[in-house]
Amino acid sequence: MSLFHVLGFGLKVGHLVWLLCCSLVSLLSNNWVAGDGGVMGTKASFLGDGGKVPLNWLEKFLGNVYKIHQHYYQGSGSKKVGKTWWRKLFFAWIMVWSVISLWVFWGMSSQAADKRKETLVSMCDERARMLQDQFNVSMNHVQAMSILISTFHHGKYPSAIDQATFARYTERTAFERPLTSGVAYAVKVLHSEREEFERQQGWKIKRMDAHVQKPVHKDNYEAEVYELSPVQEEYAPVIFAQDTISHIISLDMLSGKEDRENILRARDSGKGVLTAPFRLLKTNSLGVILTFAVYKKDLLPNATPEDRIKETYGYLGGVFHIESLVEKLLQQLASKQTIVVNVYDITNHSHPISMYGSDVSYDVLEHVSSLNFGDPFRMHEMRCRFKLRAPLPWLAIFTSIGILVIALLIGHIFYATMNRIAKVEDDFYKMMGLKKRAEDADVAKSQFLATVSHEIRTPMNGVLGMLHMLMDTNLDITQQDYVRTAQASGKALVSLMNEVLDQAKIESGKIELEAVQFDVRSILDDVLSLFSGKSQDKVELAAFISDKVPSAIIGDPGRFRQIITNLVGNSIKFTERGHIFVTVHLVEEVMSSVEPEMELSRNSLSGYPVSDRRRSWEKFRTFNQDGSNMRFSSPFSNPISLIVSVEDTGVGIPLEAQARVFTPYMQVRPSISRTHGGTGIGLSISKCLVGLMNGEIGFVSTPKVGSTFTFTAVFGNGCPVSGECKSWQVNRRSVAVDESYGFHGMNALVIDSRPIRAKVTRYHLQRLGICVQVLSDMSHVLSDTSICNMKVNMVLVEWEIWDKDPSSLAILRDRLRNTAESRVPPKLFILANSAGSMRMSSSASDAFGPFVLMKPLRVSMMAASLQRAMGIGNKTSNCNGDSPSVSLRNLLQGRKILIVDDNRVNLRVAEGALKKYGADVVCAGSGKEAISLLKPPHNFDACFMDIQMPDKDGFETTKEIRQMERAYRDSLPLEDLFSDSRDQSSKWHLPILAMTADVIHATHEKCLEKGMNGHVSKPFEAEQLYREVSRFFHSSPDQNE
């Protein structure tokens, strides 16, 4: 079932992909967790649960697959259910995976966003901290300067610092305050001290708020622009200033709104304070002023504002350029381009004042870091944004799309697979149905054939019998002719029916092969003699059997003969000239032979070209297997494989018809059956029979050249021990045949130009025990005088040579006649087929020859012809034919045999037959009588029993006898059973053979089933009787005892 494979494979792939997905997901989630430990705590735990979820799914999935299996095997009814179920599963799968991929997308993109935010936060905080640090450094310096002022200006009298000193000092220490553009010192002057102070300084205190609004350039700066300060309670005129801001000297700081506020706060808190950012006077850039108060003496930390005001000397201010400050700072840091920084003063929360930066960002993401410049009153903050919008999360998009695509693909694969499987299943069921119907039809056909042919055969017997009887009545010649024709047709019909019945039997597997010993050579001789009359004059029939083929093999001779007869019969039908050549070899022999015998395709038996016989078996399994150890299971313990080729030079088989040669009832053309007859099932039957013999059949055919059919078959070796076989093979002829014919030790000279034909002749002569020498050319014989001195008893000349050159033959004949008088001159034989022999009869012949040996060559015919010519008596020839009777006599001599038959005539005949072989016969007329005679221990050696008898038939009688035997055996003491088993067993087990007129195979089986040991056909046939009896009587009792 390929379904299992497909499903198994699908599951494996699915599982693999599933694992892949799982690992991918877990990898992703791990990354995620590592990326942001804090946030992902919850997510990790979720994934921890999620790890189990796929497993559950997997289990569920497998369970479902199993369910589907069951669905399919529950029958076709649930198929549709399974289909819709699968569709639902498919959609569910897609949905699940869509959700999963969305989730992955969301997870990954939020991860990316978090990372971005985190980057921003860290960058922003870093910037804020640096800014704050730098600012604080600068502030510290300004504070240090206030201490300087308090020490050297107010602490000494007269003051150690004047404007020039201050300017120079501040100029030289400017590097320490990179952020301040300038510092100035204003002194506290009460109104009461104003005049004194103005006089001391040499200038008037001026107010500054008038020009604060309008930006003033350094170039057109005029002191006259400033108005004199109006009367105030107190003043804070600038007395020292760095050169960069020297224009503010003499300006009253308390008159500026921002400055005043600043100064008052600084005085109160005693710490540095900052103004709100404002446009600076000269540079018009944003700046803040840092103000420190300078006190007369060190104050306690818990001093009240009143104390502080009282103790105030003056105020030190520094101008900070926030813009340049931030600019400088950002330049120090990398990635200035990626983020936008804004600094705000948010003292007034509703109106933050921008100190730096522009709103050129498109990104919504913002981070705010607070800044502490040391002034608790003023609040500052830094806002950072990325310059560019966040890029699309491509990785997340691609990952999720990838997951979705993979899932879809897997789903599709499964879905398609299931669809495919369902379709294949459907087809499978459909095909099963069709196959069943076809098989039913085939069985019905075979049954029909068998029945019909059987039914026809029965009345045909009547027809034939009646025709036969009709022939015995008084008929005139015409009537007799009609009757004979009718009878011949009837016989043909019956043989045809037999063929059809055979075919039907084979198809229904009812045919069984016999396993008896037979001789291949004699079978081939029979076949040749059968066809010798039928073949055309110009066709030469020949057979050759390899020396290696043992003479006795075990198998079914009838079927073997049937195959060969079929093949040769076919060849004869289609061959008008040339030859038909049957060869038998051992398979091993052919396989091992590298002799290129077929390369000389022109050098065939008759000289006509033939098809290459090797090609006919090149497809055989046996030959394609390496070595012969891969034996098919054979019923024989000692199997040998024969390979038989039938080669002809006929019309050949058209290429288009070659494919259906072995199809039953199929002929090359419909017209063939009209011209050549036959049903076209011969080859099909042959193929089946060959198959039953564990063999193969094949052919090669070339139109207009000829066909060669080859088959192999496995038989048992008739010679049980191979060693024995070998020795027997060496001098086989001298033992088996020559004694009877009397040719042993003779020498023959064969003159033949064709080696293959010479080989055939030699083969047949050697079977007679004659030593053979082959010469290819007549002239060679004539020139070589030595042959006359050789002890040659006969010279065999091929007709072809004789025909070509009769004169040289005449010379040869004379030469032979005139050789040494001391011995009998050699006889001259002509090997001729019928056509030749006709003409031969006219030519002169005398006591020395030439005699004609008719082809096809066969041992019996050859022996007879040679004997007649050589004058050897035929006295021993009967011996051969009698051999079974002789051995039968050996077997049966002195045996006591009981014959049971109700038919007195049969009884008498059987008695006579067995008596003739020397047996001691007792007769019984019925089953009852037989039982009374056969009380164990038995006095008889065997019993022949008729089956059909009135009141107690053979089977019943046997049954009763067997029961008696069993009872007897059980009554025996144990030691008797084993003491001399061979002798004793015959006492309580009598071989019973059925005698029956019909020899159907089923009867034989029934006999065995009923406890009989075998069966013989009723008018005894010596051979069959011998075969059956030899199974029980291994040798004559005389020898045994």
Token pair belonging to 443: 């069985």
Contact pick of 509, 1019, 1035, 1040 for another protein (by CB under 8 A): 1019
Shortest approach of another protein to residue 468 CB, angstroms?
6
If one asks whether residue 867 binds another protein (CB under 8 A), the answer comes out as no
Choice between 353 and 909, CB closer to another protein = 909
Shortest approach of another protein to residue 997 CB, angstroms?
6
| Residue appearing with tokens 């036959």 | 678
CA-CA distance, 1028 to 892, in Å (whole number)? 12
Choice between 658 and 903, CB closer to another protein = 903
Query: DSSP readout, 409-446?
Result: HHHHHHHHHHHHHHHHHHHHHHHHHHHHHHHHHHHHHH
- What backbone phi and psi angles, to 5 degrees, belong to 969? -65, -40
26: part of which helix (H) or strand (E)?
helix 2-35
Total number of residues that touch another protein (CB under 8 A): 27
Measured at the CA of 608, the angle between CA 607 and CA 613, to 5 degrees, comes to 105
Shortest approach of another protein to residue 495 CB, angstroms?
17
Q: Which amino acid is at 41?
A: G
Pick out residues in 623-642 that bind another protein (CB under 8 A). Answer: none
Choice between 31 and 479, CB closer to another protein = 479
Contact 549, 604 (CB under 8 A): no
Choice between 837 and 903, CB closer to another protein = 903
Residue 828, judged by CB atoms within 10 A of its CB (0-12, 13-18, 19+), counts as buried
Choice between 931 and 1022, CB closer to another protein = 1022
CA-CA distance, 959 to 1010, in Å (whole number)? 7
Shortest approach of another protein to residue 1020 CB, angstroms?
8
Choice between 35 and 918, CB closer to another protein = 918
**Binding piece for another protein, criterion CB under 8 A, among 565-573, 748-756, 798-806, 1014-1022:** 1014-1022
CA-CA distance, 403 to 393, in Å (whole number)? 16
Site string for another protein, 930-959 (x = CB under 8 A): ------------------x-x---------
Choice between 720 and 1019, CB closer to another protein = 1019
At 240, is the secondary structure helix, strand, or coil? strand
Pick out residues in 643-682 that bind another protein (CB under 8 A). Answer: none
Shortest approach of another protein to residue 911 CB, angstroms?
9
Shortest approach of another protein to residue 908 CB, angstroms?
5
Beta-sheet pairing, 516-518 with 851-854 = unpaired
Shortest approach of another protein to residue 693 CB, angstroms?
31
Helices (H), 830-979: 834-842, 859-870, 877-892, 904-916, 927-933, 954-971, 974-979
Choice between 865 and 903, CB closer to another protein = 903
Shortest approach of another protein to residue 461 CB, angstroms?
6
Choice between 41 and 1019, CB closer to another protein = 1019
Cβ-count burial 320-354 (b if 16+ within 10 Å, e if not): bbbbbbbeebbeeeeebeebbbbbbbbeeeeebee
Choice between 467 and 831, CB closer to another protein = 467
Choice between 540 and 902, CB closer to another protein = 902
Contact pick of 1018, 1026, 1028, 1029 for another protein (by CB under 8 A): 1018
Site string for another protein, 818-847 (x = CB under 8 A): ------------------------------
Shortest approach of another protein to residue 853 CB, angstroms?
24
CA-CA distance, 258 to 989, in Å (whole number)? 147
Query: DSSP readout, 492-549?
Result: HHHHHHHHHHHHHHHHTT------EEE-HHHHHHHHHHHHHTTS-TTEEEEEEE-TTS
Beta-sheet pairing, 992-996 with 1014-1017 = parallel
Shortest approach of another protein to residue 907 CB, angstroms?
9
CA-CA distance, 879 to 877, in Å (whole number)? 5
Please, which contacts does 102-105 make with residues 24 or more away whose CB atoms are closer than 8 Å?
102/400, 104/25, 104/28, 104/396, 104/399, 104/400, 104/403, 105/393, 105/396, 105/397, 105/399, 105/400
Kindly state the DSSP code that residue 605 receives in the 8-state scheme.
S
Pick out residues in 897-926 that bind another protein (CB under 8 A). Answer: 902-906, 908-910, 912-913, 915-916
Pick out residues in 58-77 that bind another protein (CB under 8 A). Answer: none
Neighbours of 831 (CB within 10 A): 26
**Binding piece for another protein, criterion CB under 8 A, among 404-412, 433-441, 657-665, 896-904:** 896-904
Choice between 520 and 913, CB closer to another protein = 913
Shortest approach of another protein to residue 836 CB, angstroms?
29
Q: Which amino acid is at 705?
A: V
Choice between 136 and 906, CB closer to another protein = 906
Shortest approach of another protein to residue 458 CB, angstroms?
6
Contact 238, 163 (CB under 8 A): no
| Residue appearing with tokens 């522009």 | 358
Site string for another protein, 440-479 (x = CB under 8 A): ------------------xx-xx--xx-xx--x-------
Choice between 434 and 488, CB closer to another protein = 488
**Binding piece for another protein, criterion CB under 8 A, among 220-228, 386-394, 923-931, 1015-1023:** 1015-1023
What angle, 0 to 180 degrees and rounded to 10, lies between the N-to-C axes of helices 520-532 and 859-870?
80
Contact 708, 645 (CB under 8 A): yes
Shortest approach of another protein to residue 919 CB, angstroms?
12
Neighbours of 131 (CB within 10 A): 25
At 872, is the secondary structure helix, strand, or coil? coil
Choice between 208 and 913, CB closer to another protein = 913
CA-CA distance, 943 to 472, in Å (whole number)? 40
Shortest approach of another protein to residue 902 CB, angstroms?
8
CA-CA distance, 725 to 551, in Å (whole number)? 10
Token pair belonging to 311: 């103790």
Q: Which amino acid is at 598?
A: M
Shortest approach of another protein to residue 903 CB, angstroms?
5
Shortest approach of another protein to residue 466 CB, angstroms?
6
Site string for another protein, 344-363 (x = CB under 8 A): --------------------
Shortest approach of another protein to residue 956 CB, angstroms?
16
Shortest approach of another protein to residue 993 CB, angstroms?
16
Choice between 766 and 1017, CB closer to another protein = 1017
49: part of which helix (H) or strand (E)?
helix 37-73
Choice between 738 and 901, CB closer to another protein = 901
Choice between 466 and 666, CB closer to another protein = 466
Question: Where along the sequence are the contacts to another protein (CB under 8 A)?
Answer: 458-459, 461-462, 465-466, 468-469, 472, 902-906, 908-910, 912-913, 915-916, 948, 950, 997, 1018-1020
